[in-house]
Structure 1
């Protein structure tokens, strides 16, 4: 198994693991605030956007972010909406294929950003109902921030 195949399998497992029994506006608020607090405690500046369908439930931009981060978050979230996978999954898949999103899927990179930082909100029995997107951190840290907060939140829910 290649490094990319191993990471893709890990990301699929993570998406399977990090599912909700239910998801409300209050859930979005709690998760959004937890992401912001975690980033701030680490001295990081991020933009966080949580949507259920087309409704924005939570948005916050830390000092030090810009409108560019809003755009990145929206472009990453479109990946989740289109493909039903985290944007990090698509980033790794495209990297492994050696192709861009325009080459492989004929999608405009100005509208779709296949880079880590957007995660599907899955509710057991209902499927994907929304997205959580973070922008502002280097490498795979946007994705890792979302996953770690979801893991902690869902552990407390059980």
Structure 2
């Protein structure tokens, strides 16, 4: 059995650590291009989306990415918007509590996916303003790629 409590702690720490002083279109471009660079290095075909205040600042589907990935992004972004946490945290938190996320009556799986890959874009002392989301790999890999890109851009 996975150690959900430890993973939740790590994810919460990432959310606290990976915050911006400011975020604009140029930051979104740098972050999006960093994700693409990482995906190329790993030989992955992903879709990446960066949205701030419901406005898409960056969206790219790599050669070989599936059209389905954009819908996964939409559903994962809805989870971040609803819960104010990264989508991976919400999915793991539900597993940890023994709750099947897909069976929550008021959260239609057509619109919500608590799978890793959507991470809140947070401004320090302000709050969440958007999301950076990757789709196309296993959920832990989607999440890890976003975190790696955020660390690189914030460094």
Shorter-chain TM-score: what band?
over 0.9
User: For residue 59 of structure 2, what is the aligned residue in structure 1?
Assistant: 59
Which stretch of structure 1 is more off in the superposition, 99-108 or 9-18?
99-108
Unaligned runs of 5+ in 1: none
Q: Distance in 2 between matches of 1:57 and 1:33?
A: 12
Pairwise CA distance, 1:139: 4.1
Cα displacement string for residues 8-59 of structure 1 (whole angstroms, at most 9, x for unaligned residues): 1110011000000000000000000110111012111100000001100000
The answer to whether 1:71 aligns with 2:98 is no
Task: Please say if residues 50 and 57 of structure 1, whose CA atoms lie closer than 8 Å, have aligned partners that are also in contact.
Answer: yes
1:120 is the counterpart of 2:124: no
Q: Distance in 2 between matches of 1:38 and 1:102?
A: 30
1:28 aligns with 2:32: no
| 3-state SS of 1:140 partner | helix
Are the aligned partners of 2:46 and 2:134 in contact in 1 as well (CA < 8 Å)? yes
Counterparts of 1:83 and 1:105 in 2: how far apart (Å)? 16
2:88 touches 2:139 (CA, 8 Å); kept in 1? Answer: no
The alignment yields a C-alpha RMSD, in angstroms, of 1.3
CA deviations over 1:119-151 (Å, ceiling 9, x no partner):
000001210000011000124000000001111
Q: May I ask how many residue pairs the two structures share in their alignment?
A: 154
Q: CA deviation at 1:105?
A: 6.3
2:51 equivalent to 1:39 = no
Q: Which residue of 1 aligns with 2:91?
A: 91
1:101–1:108 Cα contact (<8 Å) kept:
no
Moved over 3 A (4+): 102-105
Distance 1:142 1:44 in 2: 10
TM-score, length basis structure 1: 0.93
The SS at the match of 1:88 is helix
